[in-house]
Structure 1
Amino acid sequence: MKDPHFRGAGEAIYQEGVLYQKAAAEFASPQYYRTAERRFRLLVKDYPGNPRCRDALLRLGEIYTLHLNDETAAEETWKLLAKAYRYSAAALERIRKELASHRSPAEGGSLVRNIRFWTTAEYTRVSIDMDAEAQYEKGRLSNPDRIYFDISKAKLNSDLVNRVFDISNGLLKQVRVGQYKPDVVRVVLDLSGESASTVDELRDPFRIIVDLRPVSRSAAKTIPKPPATVIPPPLPKAAAPTSQGDRTLTRTLGLKIGAIVLDPGHGGRDLGTIGPGGLAEKDLVLSLALSLKKMIEGQIGAEVILTRTDDTFISLEERTAIANRHKADLFISIHANSSRNRSVSGVETYYLDFARNDADREIAARENATTTSNISDLEDLIKGIARADKSAESRELASIIQNSLYAGARKLFRSTQNRGVRSAPFIVLIGANMPSVLAEVAFISNPGDERLLTKAPNREQLAKALFSGIEAYMKTLGGNVVHNRTDNKSEQ
C-alpha cells in the first residue's frame, strides 16, 4: 500500500487479506495464512473505524482456530470482538463451537459439516452444508423410494458419523448420513410419498440444497361459511398487463394475494451493515417490518408472516423455506445498504436473476378476477412455465416497490437517488415459489441518512412507502385479497 491515507486503503488491505486466505486454502499454505493474518491485523490496528474491521476480526479468529492452532491469539481476538462490537458471551461461544466442529478432511477434500431441514406436508428443503466445494453423484432409487448423494473426496464432521435424522413428517421420513467409503460421504433421503425433487448448489459456504414437493396437490378447497351479514363483494377487476406489456399467467388466471412473507434481513449474531453512528441494519429492518406488517393487516387485510419478530439469527435458506411452507403469494426481503463512499444515498430493489454488473454482484455477495386460487398455486396449475412467470412478476413487483420507495425516501433524505431496479442472484430469493424481491431501503453508511433513521417517525414513513408499493402491485392484479387461507398460520 503506497499511500496509507488513500481513501480506500482499509478496503484494499481487507481484500488483500481475503485473497491470501483463499490462496492458503487453495494451496494448503500456512505461509499464506500468516500473510492474511498480518493484513487483517494491520487493518484492525491502523484503521480501527473501518467497517471491514469486524469481518477482519472474525476471519482472524477462524485462521487462529482452524489453521494456525493458536488458541491464545484466538481468545484475544474474541475479546477484542466483544469489546469493539458488543458480541455477547453466548454469541462468541456459538462461534467457538461452530469452528471447533470443523475437523480437517482428507487432503484436497471437503468436510460435510451439517445437515439441516425444513419440512411440512407440502414442502421440504434439505441443506447439506460443507466447508468447500465438492463433486458428487446423485440418484433416485425405488423400493423404498429414496434419493442419495455420494460426495467424493469428503469426510464427515464427527458429530454426523452414522447419524439418522428422524423426521417422519410431510414428504420425508428421515435423512441418513454415513462415511460410505474412506473418501466418500453418502447422504440418503428416505421419502414418504410421491414427490418431485430439485437440486441446487449455493456457495460461500458450499451447500447442496434439495427441494421436495408433492407430484400433485389436491385442488379441494374449504368453502368458507357465509358471514352473518352478507356484504356484497366488490366487482372483480381484470388484472392489468405488467409495465412491460406482458400478460403473465398470473394475470391471465386472475390470481390474487392472500399471504405475504416479510423478511427483515440479518438478526442475532449477523448484524448486517453498521452505520458510522452505530445503527445496525438488523435493528432498522426489523422495525420497518413490524410497522409494515401492521399496515398490511390493518389496511389491506392480507395475512402477513414475518421470518423473525425479534433479534434472532435465521439462515438464508430457512427464510425462503418459511415462505414456501406458508404458501405465501409474495416474499419481500428488507435490507439497508452500505457504501465505502459515505456520501452515497439512495434506494434500489432487486429481483432474482444473474447480476448484470460488478456492483450488483458485490451487493449480492453481502447479502426467488373472481378466482380463489393464489399465486402460490401457480406451479400446480401450469408447471411448465411457472419459473418464467414468477420472474416476470418479481420484476414487476420490484419496479412498483422501487417507484414507491423512492417517492417516500426523497421526502426524508435530501440527496437520495433512484438507483433503479436491479437483478442479482441473492441466496435468500433462490427457491422461492412466489414473486420475490429484496429492497435496499437506504444507505446507513451515509451519516445524515443514518441520523434520520434513528427517529421512529422517519422509519414509519419509510415503511409507508413500502406499503404503498405493495398495495399498488396488488391493484394491478385486480385488487382483491383471498381470505380463505386457513392452512397458514403465523410463523412466529
Structure 2
Amino acid sequence: MTVGLRRIRWCFAILWVTGYALPGDPAWEIVGPVSLLGKPRSGVDAVALYRSVQARYRAMQAWPERYDRRHWERLAAQFRTVYYRYPTHAVADDAVYMEAEVYARLFRTGARDEDWQQAVDRYKFLITEYPHSPWGPTALLRVADLYRAKALPEWASYVTECARLFSEARCQKVPDYKSLLAQVRSARSEAPARPENVRARGLSVLQGIRYWTSPQYTRIVLDLSDAVSYRTGVLRDPDRLYIDLDQTVLSRQIRGQGWELPTHAHLRQVRVGQYLPDTARVVLDFDRIKQHRIFILESPYRIVIDIFQRPWESAGQAQSRAEAATRPTETPAPSAPADRTEDAAAREIPVPEANRSGTYSIARQLGMKVARIMLDPGHGGHDPGAIGVGGLREKDVTLAIARRLREAILRRWNVEVLMTRDDDRFVPLEERTAMANSQGVDLFISIHANASRDGRLHGVETYYLHWARDPHAMEVAARENAVSTAKLHELRKFVHLILQNTKVEESRDLAEYLQKHLIGSVRSRYPTRDLGVKSAPFYVLMGAQMPAVLVETAFLTHDREGRLLADPAFQDRVVQGLLEGLAAYLEAQGSLANLTRPSDT
C-alpha cells in the first residue's frame, strides 16, 4: 500500500513539474513549476521548458476568469526564463514573442502604460536580436497596433517599414498586413501635409558622431538632443558592435552618412541608420573586437564608447619595454664591498616607496619611465568657467598656470609635455580624456580655479576620480561638469564601471603629493587653507587610463584669493608647488632617475 501511494505521489509530482497541473490548482499558484526545474541541461530541456510554459498559457487563455494579473506576470517571467537560459536555441525567439503577447494582453485588459511599454520593448527586442525569426513581421505589426492604440503617428511607419526590414513576401503572410497598409495609405491621402515636429513626438535626435583614435585606443561620442535608453550587442563574422537608441531619429545632417577611420585604427568605420521608425542604430565595424565600455555624460546628453584593441600602454611604458627588449644581457658584476663610496651609492637605482595601501603597483615595482605628461587648462572658448573678483575668468587663470608649469617641467626634466589647449578655445570634457588616452600620456593633470556661493570659502584642494564623499566635493564636480548634483547621482553605476579599469591608487597618490607640496609652496608666502585630497565624479577624469587628477588652485570667489590668482607671483608659487609635488611623486615611483636631463648629470 505504501509503495502504491508513493507511485501516485510521484505521478502527480511529475505532472506538476512538467506543467500539466490543472489550472487554478493552489499549489501552482504559490510556486510556478519553472522555479523547480533548476538549470536545464540540454536542448531537450529547452523544448520541454518552453512547451510546459506554452501549455500553461493555453490553459490560462481557456479559463481567463480563474487568473488575475499576478498569474499573467508570472507567466511572462517564465517565458523570459526560457530565452535567458537558452538565448541561441530555436525556441528562444518563440519565448520572446510569447512574453510580448502576454504583456500586450495585459495592456488590452488593463490599459496600463507599463504593460504597453513592456510589450513594445519585447517586440522590438525580438526584431533586433532575432532578425531572422519567423515572428519578425508579426512583431513589427503588433508594435504598429500598440502605437495606434495610443494615437502615436509612428504606427504608420511601422507598417510601411515591414517590407524593407523583412521582405514583401514575408509581410504578406501576416493576416492583417494588407488591411493595415490600406489604412495607412488612406490616412496619408486624407491628412494634410505637416512639418515634422520631433520634440512634440517625444523623440530624441542623434545630432552627430565624433571620434578620436590611435592604434591601441578609440573613443566614439554620440551627441543626442535628449536622454535615451539604449541597447548594445556584438555580432560576429565580421565583428560589429551595435547600439540601438530607443525613441531616437537621425538628424538630416547624418542620414546616410558613414565615417571611415584612419588605416591604423582597429575600428574600420562607423555607420548609422534608422533601424525602426523610432529606433536609430549605430554600427561600429571592427577588424576584431577586444574590449569596450560604454557610459553616458549629461548636459548635453552623450553616449561615450571607449574601445581598446590591446591592453593600454603609455609612452613611458612603451619606452621601458623597448629598451628592455634591446638591452644586451650583462654578466652580473661582483658584489660591492661593504664600505661603498658615496658616489657608488648615488648611482644606485632608487627604491620606490609603497603607496597608501602599503603595496606596490606594477609601475612602482618596475620603475617605469614617465615620457609624456598632459596638462589640461580647464574651460576655454565660450566656456569661461567661474567668474571671480574683478571679472577674472577661470579659463584665463588656468591657461596661464598651465603654460608656466609646462615651461618649468621642460626646464627640469627630459620629458614631453602636451596641452589639451594652448589658446582660448573650447575643448569638450570627453575630448580631453580621449586626447590623453590616444596619445599614451603617462600622467594627466587638470588645472582649475575654485568657486563657491559662500564668498568666505578659500583654500586648495586636489581631486581624483571616485564617488564623492561629501556635499562640497559633489558641488565642485557638478560645477566643473556643468550639470546638477541630481544628474551626477544618476551616474553612480557608470563611475563604478569605469573605476574597474582606472588607476585609482596611483591617482590618489599623485593627488596627495601635489596637494602637500602645493600647500607648502603657497603658504611660504600667502595664507591659505588645506582643504585636502578628495574624490568626485569629474567628467574630465572619466575613462583616463593613466594616473589623473584635478587641482583646484584657489578660490576665484574669495576676495583675497581672487585677486591673487591674477598675480604672476602667486601663479609662480602654484607652479612651484605642483612641480615639487610632481617630483616627489616621480621619486616615489622610482621614475625620477629616468627623467634627468643630460646637462644635469
TM-score, reference length from structure 2: 0.57
- How many angstroms does 1:193 deviate by? 4.2
| Structure 1 position 412, deviation (Å) | 4.5
Compare 287-296 and 251-260 and name the one that shifted more.
251-260
The yes-or-no answer on 1:158 pairing with 2:216 is: no
2:551 paired with 1:456? no
1:255 is paired with a residue whose SS is coil
2:283 to 167, 183, 188: 188
Deviations, residues 127-171 of structure 1 (Å, cap 9, x unaligned) = 111122211111111222211111111122221212111223312
**Displacement of 1:224 after TM fit?**
8.1
CA contact (8 A) 2:367 2:589 kept: yes
Contact 1:250 1:389 (8 Å CA) reproduced: no
Larger C-alpha radius of gyration, 1 or 2?
A: 2
- Pick closer, same or farther for the CA change 1:243–1:328 going to 2, 3 Å: same
Structure 1 Cα separation of the partners of residues 444 and 523 of structure 2: 25
Helix, strand or coil: the match of 1:397? Answer: helix
Residue 131 (structure 1) aligns with:
225
Which deviates more, 332-341 or 405-414?
Answer: 405-414
The residue type paired with residue 211 of structure 1 is D
Partner of 1:322: 435
Q: What aligned pairs does 1:349-364 form with structure 2 within 5 A after superposition?
A: 349-364=462-477
Moved >6 Å (runs of 4+): 217-220, 222-226
Shift of 1:357: 2.0
1:264 aligns with 2:264: no
Percent of residue pairs identical: 40
Residue aligning to 2:307: 212
Per-residue CA distance 1:440-486 (angstroms, 9 max, x = gap): 000011122122222212211211111111111111012435579xx
Distance 1:364 1:216 in 2: 29
| 2:584 alignment counterpart | 472
Aligned counterpart, 1:286: 399
Q: How many pairs were matched up?
A: 362
Structure 2 residues without counterparts, runs of 5 or longer: 1-195, 329-343, 481-497, 597-601
3-state secondary structure, aligned to 1:460:
helix
Report if aligned partners of 2:211, 2:218 keep a CA contact under 8 Å in 1: yes
Q: Secondary structure at the match of 2:281?
A: strand
Residues 192-236 of structure 1, C-alpha deviations (whole Å, 9 max, x = no match): 34532111222232221111111368977267899xxxxx99421
TM-score, normalization: structure 1? 0.69
Taking CA–CA contacts closer than 8 Å with sequence separation of 6 or more, which of the two structures ends up with the larger relative contact order? 1
State how far apart, in whole Å, the 2-side matches of 1:190 and 1:388 are: 24
Kept in 2, the 8 Å contact 1:171–1:212? The answer is: no
Post-superposition offset of 1:251: 1.9
Say whether the 8 Å CA contact 1:173–1:191 is kept in structure 2: yes
Corresponding residue for residue 538 of structure 2: 426
TM-superposition CA deviations, 1:347-366 (whole Å, max 9, x none) = 10000001112221111111
Which of the pair is proportionally richer in strand? 1
CA deviation profile, 1:373-424 (whole Å, cap 9, x unmatched): xxxxxxxxxxxx994771011111111111111112223543x211111100
- Name the CA shift for 1:159/1:127 in 2 (closer, same or farther; >3 Å): same
Residues 277 and 447 of structure 1 are in contact (CA less than 8 Å); yes or no, is this contact kept in structure 2?
no
Deviates more, 1:329-338 or 1:169-178: 169-178
In structure 1, the partner of 2:491 is none
d(CA) in 2 for partners of 1:167, 1:331:
26
Report the counterpart of residue 444 of structure 1 in structure 2.
556
Q: 1:408 to 1:296 in 2, by over 3 A?
A: same
Contact in 1 for aligned 2:502/2:543 (Cα 8 Å) = no
Q: Would you say the 8 A contact 1:264–1:308 is kept in 2?
A: yes
Aligned residues of 2:466 and 2:499 also touching (Cα < 8 A): no
SS in 2 for 1:236: coil
Q: Distance in 2 between matches of 1:402 and 1:123?
A: 31
Q: Which structure 1 residue ranges, 5 or more long, are not aligned? A: 1-101, 227-231, 368-384, 485-492
SS at match of 2:447: strand
CA–CA distance in structure 2, aligned partners of residues 432 and 103 of structure 1: 39
Counterpart Cα distance in 2 of 1:161 and 1:436: 37
CA contact (8 A) 2:501 2:545 kept: no
Instruction: Give the Å deviation of 1:276.
Output: 2.4
**Native 8 Å contact 1:177 1:188 kept in 2:** yes
> Are 1:264 and 1:334, in contact at CA under 8 Å, matched by a contact in 2?
yes
Contact 2:389 2:563 in 1 (8 A): no
Distance 1:167 1:106, change over 3 A: farther
Match for 2:245: what amino acid?
A: I
The one-letter amino acid of 1:342's match is G
| Aligned-partner Cα distance in 1 for 2:567–2:202 | 52
Residue 534 of structure 2 aligns with an amino acid whose one-letter code is R
